[in-house]
Amino acid sequence: MYQQVVPQPEPGALPPSSQAALAFAQAIIPGSGRIPAADAATVSAALEVIEHIDPRAPAAWLRAQQLLDKATILSTGRAFQSLSRPRQQALLARWEHDPVMRVPLALISLVYKFVHFDRLSVYETMGGRLNVVNQLEQPRWLEQVTQGDNWVGEEDIEAEVIVIGTGAGGAVVGRELVEKGLAVVFLEEGHLVRRDQFSGSSRKAHLDFYRAAFSVGNAPMPVFIGRMVGGSTAVNGGTCFEAPPWVLEDWCESLETDAFAPEVMAPYFRKVLDIIQAAPSDPKIIGPMGELIRRGCEKLGWSHFPILRNAPGCDGQGFCDFGCRTDARRSTNISYIPPALERGAMLISGLRAERLMLDGQRAMGVECRAQSGGTVRVRAPTVVFSGGAIPTPLFLMKQGICNSSSELGKNLSLHPSGGVAALMEERIDGASYVPQGYGMDQFTRDGVLITGASPDYNYAPLLFSVTGERLMNRMDNIEHIANFGVLIRDTTRGRVRWGPAGYPLISYNLNEQDIDQLKFGMLRTMEMLRLAGAKEVYPAINGPMVLRTDDDFRAFRERKLTGSDLLLTSYHPLGTCRMGRDSSTSVVNLNHEAHDIKGLYIVDGSTVPGPLGVNPQVTIMAMATRAADCIAKSLS
């Protein structure tokens, strides 16, 4: 049963220091006959989001726009907020192509688009609907869940195995160990979020369910990481791929083992796919995107397919990346954690792991901190860390452990994802169907995966680098726009470490080979779209282009792209706790145990030996299933 969300009161008047910000917001989102323009409430919402990230940031955010306002005088003789609307629009269009000005404009625009189109009054005007669920069931396994947020004083808990993190790695290895008869305690920094808390709000999802991360380098990009019970599996599209056999064979060659050979890993993949009930997407929830891709690919003789998803009974309603409101998607908070709790495991949410407890060079437990300041020590002879490819190495670095090889935090791959959009004659209605239901696998052997990537109304504006009236034109036609993601198996390697002021620093400089691969994928997507009947094509690049004619497409083919030209995102960080036989060149052995500390196992994306070129969640889960066998064998 659904009920509509009650609109929250919007902020009041802005202080004088915000007037420049208001001018930019109104120019970036001037509104249309269909879409309300940005206003003071948009600026106030942006300030709240920035304050959530860092309480010190709002003042700097406003000062930056005041400086940009004054900088406008250099090119126009007047401050930005003093210009007429036509002159503001002309200046924004020029800045979109300026190598210097497009960077601050893109950052400011990103924030205003993010908050404005998620405002209920705007979202509903476009056809969106925010819902919550009433009368939620209360299964018995909830009795095994303890909220640690308000824990006061000190508490000691005993177990046989501690699992830190409940995503694709932790939840799977924990359930497997429970079923082997071991007493397991799950620790999770985030919370158990049930479907009644998934409203569909982009802003709420990113503030409450994601861990903020951003790479720096020649192609800066957001890195999306789930922070909740279920981890990233609870806020993704449900896309399921097995690791391609040629990738597994590469791993075996580099690791000098047959432990990950396709025939060895096959039973683990089968078990995972059975538990999460993965199956090809139903045409009813794919929508017109499937026919569009089929039409274009068949004219080219290219392979295409319905994507395997772990969502039996999915009705295609709601944007999966903001949480599933029907529990159709069998993320680990649905498929792995409850069965483990039913068999006696314990889950403590809202606890941040602070320090690994050691007896010499052997793990003996973990010390955690509650939001209230209370300390919880969980003692066990076996500790499994499954925080993910960004949090896991940072935790170990903070304590100065597991880095005798000097490889901790290195070898980062990000599966950078670019995009292409197209205006079609027919309605696509991407917001009414699953985000990722159909794709092209013609080039996966070459390291390029192309899939439909339909956003909801409140997320679509972020996919376009345009501002002002150009943005309004695309949003007014959003039901006719088809969006595609282009993911590559990257050869670039980055690094995770602690940066200034205690913030994580993710450095990643996209190499020329990967830039060319992304461009290759974009060009192939454009070929398919043209033959499928696209009227206009929009590559996801800074310095936006609208491609209509043969000359337009020729100009894009001949354009030499740089990393900073590409609009990229990452959902799949991998590899920062390198696996290997040699303790001088790797962090963990082939059984996931840390070389430097006995009884400490790392089971998450950080130990995946390299990028796959496809979504990695099923591979991480299969590796976690195998890891559980290794751990249980060592304990027995």
Structure confidence by residue, pLDDT tens digits, 324-347:
888 899 999 999 999 999 999 999
Supply the mean pLDDT for the chain.
93
Q: What pLDDT does residue 13 have?
A: 59
Considering the chain, what percentage of its residues have pLDDT values greater than 90? Answer: 82
Please, what is the Cα angle at 622 between 621 and 624, to 5 degrees? 65
User: What DSSP state is assigned to residue 547?
Assistant: B
Find out whether 507 and 409 touch, Cβ atoms under 8 Å. Answer: no
Any bridge partners for residue 210, and if so which? 226
The C-alpha R_g of the chain, in whole angstroms, comes to 24
Among candidate residues 467, 421, 416, the one with its CA nearest the CA of residue 97: 467
Q: What pLDDT does residue 56 have?
A: 84
Of the pLDDT bands very low, low, confident and very high (cuts 50, 70, 90), residue 54 is: confident
Query: For residue range 146-193, what is the model confidence (pLDDT) as tens digits?
Result: 998 878 778 899 999 999 999 999 999 999 999 999 999 999 999 999
Q: What pLDDT does residue 31 have?
A: 96
Mean pLDDT in residue range 214-218: 94
User: What DSSP state is assigned to residue 101?
Assistant: T
Find out whether 111 and 62 touch, Cβ atoms under 8 Å. Answer: no
Higher pLDDT, 595 or 16: 595
What is the C-alpha to C-alpha distance for residues 553 and 527, in angstroms, rounded to an integer?
A: 9
CATH class of 146-275+321-411+575-635: alpha beta
Q: What pLDDT does residue 8 have?
A: 43
Of the pLDDT bands very low, low, confident and very high (cuts 50, 70, 90), residue 233 is: very high
Q: Residue with structure tokens 């009041």?
A: 12
Mean pLDDT in residue range 576-584: 97
Query: For residue range 58-69, what is the model confidence (pLDDT) as tens digits?
Result: 998 999 899 888
Mean pLDDT in residue range 15-33: 91
- pLDDT at 131 exceeding the cut of 80: no
- pLDDT at 4 exceeding the cut of 50: no
Alpha-helix residue ranges (DSSP H) falling in 477-537: 512-532
What is the C-alpha to C-alpha distance for residues 494 and 517, in angstroms, rounded to an integer?
A: 17
Q: What is the separation of C-alpha 260 from the centre of its chain, rounded to a whole number of angstroms?
A: 26
Q: What pLDDT does residue 416 have?
A: 97
- pLDDT at 298 exceeding the cut of 50: yes
Q: Where exactly are the structural domains of the chain?
A: 2-126, 146-275+321-411+575-635, 279-309+417-489+511-565
Find out whether 563 and 494 touch, Cβ atoms under 8 Å. Answer: no
Of the pLDDT bands very low, low, confident and very high (cuts 50, 70, 90), residue 478 is: very high
Among candidate residues 43, 96, 480, 557, the one with its CA nearest the CA of residue 287: 480
Query: For residue range 451-468, what is the model confidence (pLDDT) as tens digits?
Result: 999 999 999 999 999 999
Mean pLDDT in residue range 538-562: 95
Of the pLDDT bands very low, low, confident and very high (cuts 50, 70, 90), residue 227 is: very high
3-state secondary structure of 551: helix
Please, what is the Cα angle at 220 between 218 and 226, to 5 degrees? 150
> Can you read off the two tokens belonging to residue 71?
């900088």
Q: Which amino acid is present at 383? A: V
pTM: 0.94
Q: What pLDDT does residue 71 have?
A: 86
Q: What pLDDT does residue 326 have?
A: 87
Q: What pLDDT does residue 132 have?
A: 64
Mean pLDDT in residue range 187-205: 89
- Scored b (16 or more CB within 10 A) or e, 242-267 reads bbbeebbeebbeebeeeebebeebee
Mean pLDDT in residue range 502-516: 95
Provide the CATH topology of domain 279-309+417-489+511-565: Cholesterol Oxidase; domain 2 (3.30.410)
Q: What pLDDT does residue 10 have?
A: 47
